[in-house]
Each structure stands twice: as structure tokens, then as C-alpha cells.
Structure 1
Amino acid sequence: MQTYSHSDTQLDQIKLPPHSVEAEQSVLGGLMLESSALDKIADLITQDDFYRFEHRLIYRQIVRMSELAKPVDVITVAEALEISGELDKVGGLAYLGSLAQNVPSAANIRRYGEIVRERSIMRQLVEVGTDIADSAYNPTGRDAAQLLDEAEGKVFQIAEAGARGKQGFMSMPPLLTQVVERIETLYGRDNTSDVTGTPTGYTDLDR
């Protein structure tokens, strides 16, 4: 029978935000192989969609260079980053070279960009979901209607931004639909005393 140590349990409790380093690397590598590939993803992702800080810096520099109609490749990007004092922050020329070397071509860059964008949306869902839950447990004077308005506003902001690169709007993510429904359940109950707060786990006390 498999046994688990206390340290294993602690590691299981540590969850990194959703991301795909490989997809981010493939996007950047593809852009340095074929600068025109930016046209395939410019409507889809922004620098803020990248999880790793160094990847945000690299992508931002590539976009700047493209806007100025400058050639984009490993050497030119490294030079631009060095001028801006950011080359060491991204891992130097060696890391830029590895990005381009590990991507055979930019043919699938749109799909890589979609993965980067999807993970970005998931991170936003995690953040907003946590905020919504915190608001439900600590309403600080707000009533159920106000909490629902705030929750729906946050959800639809993500949905609207998530429609980037697509026609129309994304439907409300199922995960946050469940969160909003849970808030409605918590605050929609008949509660003559109007008592709210953190649940104790004891039904009689939580009424």
C-alpha cells in the first residue's frame, strides 16, 4: 500500500496558477524565427497573458520592434533588450537562442498563442473566484444583490476580454457560474436575523 509523508501532503496543497511555459516559449521562439508570425497572434494575446515575467519582457520587446518595422530575430532582440537593460533579466542571449532553437517553425504559433491565452483566462478565473468567495464570507455591509452585481461584473469582464481574437462573446465560464449560484444559495435563503459570516460547519449555528 502506498504511503504519503507529511511533506508530500504539503506539496499537494501547493498549487501553481494555470500556465504553460512550453507554449509561451514556443510563441516567442516562433516569433524570432519568423517575425511576420506576429500577425497571426497580435489579436489574440498581450504581454500580460504570459505567466513568466521574462517572457513578458521578451514579447513586449518583439512587439515594439515590429511596430517600428525593425527585423526580429535572436540577435536583434538580444541587442534591443541589452539597450533597455533587460537582457540579463530574461536569461541573456543563451536563453533567447534556446527559445528559437527548440521550435522547428512558426507554423503552429496560432495554436500556441491560444494555449497561452487560455491559461491566462484560467488564472483570472482563479483570482476572481477567490475574490467572489471572500466577498460572500465577508460582505462588509453589502447585500446579496450588490454581491451578485459585483460578481457578475467581474465574470463578464473576463468573458469580454476572453473574446479577444474571436467573434462574439464567450459564455460565462461554468466554474464561475457555480460560484455565483453558490452565492445566490447562501444569500437567497430566508434569514430573519440577517446574520452572515463565516460558516462554522454546524447547521444550527449557521442558520
Structure 2
Amino acid sequence: GQRSRQEEVSAISRGLKAIARELEVPVLALSQLSRGVEGRESGEPRLSDLRESGAIEQDADVVMFIHRKKVAQEDETEEDLKAEIIIGKQRNGPIGKVPVAFISRYAAFKNLATFEAPEDVLAMPDDEGLEEYGVDDGVPF
């Protein structure tokens, strides 16, 4: 018979876990979230929001979510730059939140504790001088 999507995702999740163990390497997988997170006042994702299968939650050693309270606007402010990495599961360590700064032009995250967002980085008029703020434009994308 035909397998359900949930069974397929479970099989993939188990397969990725087996590859990681056999090759002794970390394996990174991405998952969509269910729409349940949209109805939540805080908008923060939870393990139960992983879409299609509880197997992802069960098989993963670490589950992290990137969360921003606000969607980027044309005229970003320092507050718009704030995001957090939510560690929802860590088999051998603590869970919690890590505050980060999001630089939308480069889809880059920086440590919020050490990041200062001057006006020229917020406005991003050109690429000059960005290196001093830790933005490396030498990437191919």
C-alpha cells in the first residue's frame, strides 16, 4: 500500500539519524512548522509545531528554531533587528534562547550581545565599510 506523508517523514528522520551514527558526523535537516504557531500570541515555535511527524522531535539530538517577533520592514530599526535562536531540544545540554541580531540584506545573524547597529548598517546604502561590523560580502550569493 501507499505510505502516508507522516510515515515517509518518519522513515526519512530515522534514516538521517542512522547516517549520522554510522558516519559519526552531524546531519542538519530542516522542517516546516505547522500553522499552530501562527495562532499563538507569542508566535514562538515549539517542538510540537514540527510538521508532519513526531519522529523528527523524537529522533533529533538538537532542535533549534529561528524566531523574529516582527517581519522586516523597508525602514528597519534596531528593534527590528532583534531575533532569537530558540533551543527547543538538546539531548546532552540545556534548552533556552539566544538573542541575535538579524541583518536582512545578508540573511546573516550576529551575536546581539556584541553587535552594535549603526545607522549605516541599518540603512545599508552600499557595501563600503561593512567588514568592520563583521559582514563579509565575499560570499557567492
Same fold (TM over 0.5): no
Choose between structure 1 and 2: higher strand proportion: 2
Q: Greater relative contact order (Cα 8 A, min sep 6): structure 1 or 2?
A: 1
Please tell me whether Structure 1 or Structure 2 has the larger radius of gyration of its CA atoms.
Answer: 1
What TM-score do you get using the length of structure 1 for normalisation?
0.24
**What is the TM-score normalised by the length of structure 2?**
0.31
